[in-house]
Amino acid sequence: MQPLFENNNLPTESLPQITRLEFQGIEKDYAKILYISNTIFFVAVLVAIILVIMLELGFSHWLSPTLILAWLALYLGSLWLSSISVAHKEYALRQKDISYKSGIFFRNWITVPFNRVQHCEISRGVLDNAFGLSVLRVFTAGGSGSDISIPGLKPETADRLKELIIAKIEAADEEE
Amino acid sequence: MRKNDGSWYETATRQSKVAILLIIFNVIKSLIRNWWPILIVVVFRSDILTPGQGRSILIVVGLAIIVFSIISYYRFYFFLKQDKLHVQRGVFTRSNMDIPFDRIQTISFEQGIVHQLFDVVKVKIDTAGSSKDEFEFAALPKSKANELRSFILSRKTMQTGESDGKTPSPDKNLIMALRPMDLLKVGVSQNHLRTAGIILAFFLGLRDRIDEALGQQYVDRFDRFAADLFDNAFTVLILMVIALLVIAFASTLVLTFLRFYNLKVWTSKDGYYVQGGLFNRREQAALNHKIQIIRSMSNPIRKLFNIVYFRFHQASSRGITRSSTISIPGCTIESLAHIRRSYFGSAIEKHFSHWGVAKQLFYRRWLIIGWIPFLILLVAHWTLSLPSILVISIVWLILSAFFQWVYQRDWRLSVNEELLQTHSGVLEKVTKIMHLYKIQSVEIRQTPYQRRHDLVSLVFYTASGAVRVPFITEAIALQVKDYTLYKIESADRKWM
């Protein structure tokens, strides 16, 4: 492939290449959180469906079992996708930036340089607490689309990453 | 720190008395905005209130508004002390506010008709921080406002050693001024279809709101009227479309004159200053370090007039949700080149590498924009058997093919050592240019369809919006991403 920039004293082949990154997976336990939140949603909608059936359709109507079966199929499908999606969420740190990949079919891969990070925090929901996991959030000035949120991290890992990123931000600030 | 020359701004000062009038206006405006469905009901349905009741309610509400406004005027005062702006205000709950000068980002003036009559200005204070610290003086005498601004900015400069503010520096140069003739060109070359859409949406929205406010019987009458029109049909419909376009054309022209009357643009070493407007004269500043993207929009009519619609996208102190843009319509090609050269410097002249986007983008967009509506119209044709629908659907399929083909053919991503540029559009050509180092993060997205063809979409996030590049070759995207990250990470310049 021909070089990108002709008037460039730094040939692009020698740039740090992001394809050579070693990505790190998240904890497999995160799938359980997804299962539970999916199940809560499934049950809530199921209750609504049953109510509609009882009040409007009646159980003998052909639509009633169809609706329930269809919803059950969607639920099982979502569980299956959740279990795969965990393996597709991975992150990587380099000296000067952090990358996060996610998505089974529609894949996203976002990279945020440390000198553009606004702030960085660890958040923990009820379910995260139950399974001893943390979410690392990295915020930039580029709006919500450009923020990174890495779920399913061990608290120690999340803390370590946060410390590291904050140290990097401070280092970058001093340079400026 | 306190100086002892006893300037007026060191003691508690109220706004100009005109402020009472303006507060009354604002209260009435916000009342109408929030309660207008109820007002319509009261006005149109005479059975709810007798005229006598109506009059007394009006008097009571009117008096309440006036009393409220006067109290709110007298409860508002401000003074400057120890490099802070102190403000006290509030009718029911009193609030005290301290704004340190170094948190003040910009101080801008605005003048409506009333302001111009009494020679006062509305002063907006924009701070770095949460939006609750941002506020406005409804009216200050112009001379006092100027004194206030220059005092705050001079103190600020002493503190930080850098000048940063709305006041055009003395060394500012006028680079552009719109004369009425230019304004006419701008008005004619605006996107009239968009105005037509807004007008249409407004009337459709109005119909729903009337529905809520007046009840079904009025809407039925309206619909019956519309149905009658439809019966003797196509000619009337075409007449309505023409009428809509004429109204749209006239109103964009009027709006353009109101908004950009006597528009002037200055440059200085800190940035660009824009002033304009007929009844409401506004001045805005685009400071170099806050500018993230510059964007120019061209269309065939503008090309004929040799002008573009130009826009600065700035990062706002409150981040992306409030990012501000400054528009300069009727910017001549020479002024455009001048602004680009003065903002980007020599970087703009460095050699750009260009890439197009893949054919698959055309297939995808034609499928969604062309074929899906076509198939729906085809079904409608079979069920209703109207020959006109068949004609429309075929015309649509061909037109959309042409448009999407041009869209795909003309899309360009260009990168040079310092800058990134995108160029896209069919009739309205949009060019965006930004410094690579001002980008906040880079994302690569891939759908299953793109994966089969080794394509991706690239998204560049900036502090004033994202720039998306659809359907480019994966290898190129990776190279551009690597280079962009390298430029960001090795940059030590302030991006905002």
Through-space distance between the first and last CA atoms of chain B, rounded to whole angstroms: 30
Buried b (16+ CB within 10 A) or exposed e, B271-284: bbbbbbbeebbbbb
A110·B441 Cβ contact <8 A: yes
Counting one residue from A and one from B, how many pairs have CB atoms under 8 Å apart?
Answer: 117
Q: Could you please report the per-residue DSSP string of B296-326?
A: EEE-HHHHHHTEEEEEEEE--TT-GGG-EEE
B350·A7 Cβ contact <8 A: yes
What is the SS3 assignment for B83?
coil
Residue B283 main-chain phi, psi, to 5 deg: -125, 135
Q: Is A15 on the interface with B (CB under 8 A)?
A: yes
Average pLDDT value for residue range A116-139:
89
Looking at the DSSP assignment, which residues form a beta bridge with residue B434? B293, B420
pLDDT at A176 over 60: no
pLDDT above 90 covers what percent of chain B? 26
pLDDT of B18 reads: 84
pLDDT of A69 reads: 92
pLDDT above 70 covers what percent of chain B? 86
pLDDT of B163 reads: 42
Residue A15: which of B442, B462, B483 has the nearest Cβ? B483
pLDDT at B233 over 80: no
pLDDT at A11 over 60: no
Q: What is the pTM of this model?
A: 0.77
pLDDT at A41 over 90: yes
pLDDT of A8 reads: 46
Q: What ipTM is given for this predicted complex?
A: 0.86
A97·B485 Cβ contact <8 A: yes
A76-90, B263-277, B422-436, B440-454: which range is least confident on average? B263-277
Chain B positions touching A113 (Cβ under 8 A) are 441, 485, 488-489
Average pLDDT value for residue range B293-307:
91
B38 or B489, higher pLDDT = B489
pLDDT at B157 over 70: no
Q: Are B273 and B284 in contact (CB under 8 A)?
A: yes
Q: Please give the mean pLDDT across all residues of chain B.
A: 82
B315·A141 Cβ contact <8 A: yes
Q: Is the C-alpha dihedral spanning B43, B48, B49, B51 positive or negative?
A: positive
A7·B465 Cβ contact <8 A: no
Would residue B155 be called left, alpha or beta, if left means φ above 0 and alpha means ψ between -120 and 50 degrees? alpha
pLDDT above 70 covers what percent of chain A? 87
pLDDT at B327 over 80: yes
Q: Is A3 on the interface with B (CB under 8 A)?
A: no
pLDDT at B3 over 60: no
CA distances from B236 to A91, B51, B245, B271 (A): 61, 40, 14, 52
Structure tokens at B16: 């100009």
Q: How confident is the model at residue B6 (pLDDT cuts 50, 70, 90)?
A: low
pLDDT of B231 reads: 60
B155-159, B203-207, B477-481: which range is least confident on average? B155-159
Residue B201 main-chain phi, psi, to 5 deg: -60, -40
pLDDT of B414 reads: 94
Mean pLDDT is highest, among A8-17, A167-176, B54-63, B194-203, for B54-63
pLDDT at A128 over 50: yes
pLDDT of A175 reads: 60
Q: Are B463 and B292 in contact (CB under 8 A)?
A: yes
A18·B315 Cβ contact <8 A: no
Please identify which residue in the block is written with the tokens 């509305």: B122
pLDDT digits (tens, 9 = 90+) for B75-97: 888 888 888 888 888 878 777 77
- The C-alpha atoms of residue B326 and residue B313 are separated, in whole angstroms, by 7
Min Cα–Cα distance to chain A from B438, Å: 9
Residue A19: which of B447, B478, B494 has the nearest Cβ? B478
pLDDT at B297 over 60: yes
Q: How confident is the model at residue B446 (pLDDT cuts 50, 70, 90)?
A: very high
- The C-alpha atoms of residue B452 and residue A154 are separated, in whole angstroms, by 35
Q: How confident is the model at residue B208 (pLDDT cuts 50, 70, 90)?
A: low
A44-48, B217-221, B438-442: which range is least confident on average? B217-221
B207 or B9, higher pLDDT = B9
Q: Where are the alpha helices (DSSP H) in B48-168?
A: 51-74, 113-118, 142-160
CA distances from A164 to A12, A150, A171, B59 (A): 28, 15, 11, 66
- The C-alpha atoms of residue B316 and residue B105 are separated, in whole angstroms, by 10
pLDDT at B162 over 50: no
Q: Give the CA-trace dihedral at B465, B471, B476, B482, to 10 degrees.
A: 30
B443·A145 Cβ contact <8 A: yes
B440·A18 Cβ contact <8 A: no
Q: Is B420 on the interface with A (CB under 8 A)?
A: no
Min Cα–Cα distance to chain B from A116, Å: 6
pLDDT digits (tens, 9 = 90+) for A137-158: 998 887 777 889 999 999 999 9
Chain B positions touching A7 (Cβ under 8 A) are 350-351, 416-417
pLDDT of A78 reads: 93
pLDDT at A130 over 70: yes
Nearest-CA neighbor of B291 among B307, B306, B270?
B270
Chain A positions touching B346 (Cβ under 8 A) are none
What residue of A is the nearest CA neighbor of B465? A142
Min Cα–Cα distance to chain A from B479, Å: 7
